Amino acid sequence: MNEELFGEKQPSLGESVRTFDAFPKTRATYTTRTSRGGAVTLLLLLTSAYLTLTELRTYLSGTESHTFLVEPSIGHEMQINLDITVAMPCSSLHVNVQDAVQDRILAGELLSKEEVKFDDGEAHTLYSTDHRSVDDGGERRVYEVLKKGGKKRVFKSGLRKGGLFASLTGRGRNAGGGGGSCRIYGSMGVNRVQGDFHITAKGHGYWEDGAHVDHQSFNFSHVITELSFGDYYPKLVNPLDGVVSKTDENFYKFQYFLSIVPTNYESQTSGKSLLTNQYAVTEQSRKVSSHSVPGIFFKYDIEPISLTISDRRTALLAFVVRLVNIISGILVGGGWAYGLFSTLAGYFRRQRRSTDGMLNGRALGDEE
């Protein structure tokens, strides 16, 4: 007699593995689908989809942090990049820089000048609301700034391609007549201290031997195509870029007060960084008497703080793990909540049925 036939049957490999199943299945015949359960399922799926889109938007845009520090860098010089058109001939204008240490820089000898036709067709006023600002949530994103910044360039002479004056052919209103305006452009180094950069008429404000401009020819209407501080990044937009200011008065004084803040954009994801300067501007312009000096004045001051704007994005693996946790957490948690609600609803339903039976003289379970 073979005793092995009467011994315990050894389980197969598949049956042994099946004992570790942590997700036991319920037969379809033991489940019931309800409209309430379907509505809860749709609600959970919609919630999962909404949170998934929110996480995707956060992953694509990243998160930014702003840190203010006492300016740690030590520098003695700063570069000013300027491109401005004034509705007066170049021979009538005087360009100068005077800083807090009483150093005078003859900016007219460092910058380039050329006779052009005054054009404000694509310009806007400083406080207009119909132009794109750097604070509209677009360019201020670090990765956009790093993309637009690219590499620093030298401010080249000639017309800027694709810029405000890509073709000075008389578009818009001509405040200075054909060829009667002066375009002043280029870069110059100044002391890294508070200063005053101004454009005036020759013979007014500074004494020049034999130089004097007729008062009736004064017209300091102007268009600022570029005004930036530090290395020149042509694609970065500054508050005064594309700003036009006009007047019909001969003795008129345009004043711009600038607060310069050294700013470092850095991406902790890509490791790229961009060191530049941004500034806030306020403007105060008014008509002056014939005994005052009319012109265009830029009064700038360097703040003793620096701003670091950092961008950080979630890694792809971490993003996937977050999505899995969100979706599974909502579905599992929603299933538990729905099961608990169903259990409580059944309990109170039985309690109400039992109470109704006692009031009507019937025992529980006697209903027909």
**Cβ–Cβ < 8 Å for 81, 227:** yes
Q: Residue 165: its pLDDT value, please?
A: 38
* Of 5-19, 62-76, 83-97, 305-319, minimum mean pLDDT range: 5-19
DSSP letter (8 states) at residue 161:
T
* Of 88-102, 183-197, 219-233, 351-365, minimum mean pLDDT range: 351-365
Q: Residue 2: its pLDDT value, please?
A: 56
For residue 197, CA distances in Å to 102, 104, 168, 289 come to 13, 10, 26, 21
Q: Residue 316: its pLDDT value, please?
A: 83
**Cβ–Cβ < 8 Å for 273, 265:** yes
DSSP string, 111-149: SEEEEE----TT-B-TT-SSS--TTSSSTTSHHHHHHHH
Mean pLDDT, to the nearest integer, of 325-341?
A: 86
pLDDT of residue 10 exceeding 70, the answer is no
pTM (whole model) above 0.85? no
Q: At what angle do helices 316-359 and 35-61 cross, to 10 degrees?
A: 160
* CA 248 and chain centroid, separation: 37
Q: Are strands 252-267 and 305-312 parallel, antiparallel or unpaired?
A: parallel
Q: Which residue has the higher pLDDT, 60 or 320?
A: 320
Residues with Cβ within 8 Å of residue 109, at least 6 apart in sequence: none
Mean pLDDT score of the chain? 75
Q: How far apart are CA 324 and CA 327, in angstroms?
A: 5
Q: Residue 159: its pLDDT value, please?
A: 37
Q: How far apart are CA 351 and CA 347, in angstroms?
A: 6
Q: How far apart are CA 102 and CA 16, in angstroms?
A: 91
pLDDT of residue 293 exceeding 90, the answer is no
Q: Confidence class of residue 253 from pLDDT cuts 50, 70 and 90?
A: very high
* CA 228 and chain centroid, separation: 18
**Cβ–Cβ < 8 Å for 51, 129:** no
- Residue in 285, 238, 231, 218 with CA at minimum distance from that of residue 257: 285
Structure tokens at 45: 């799926």
* CA 89 and chain centroid, separation: 38
Q: Residue 211: its pLDDT value, please?
A: 65
Q: What percent of the chain has pLDDT over 90?
A: 11
Structure tokens at 294: 């009319």
CA-CA-CA-CA dihedral for 183, 207, 197, 215, to nearest 10? -50
Mean pLDDT, to the nearest integer, of 166-178?
A: 38
DSSP letter (8 states) at residue 91:
G
SS3 267: strand
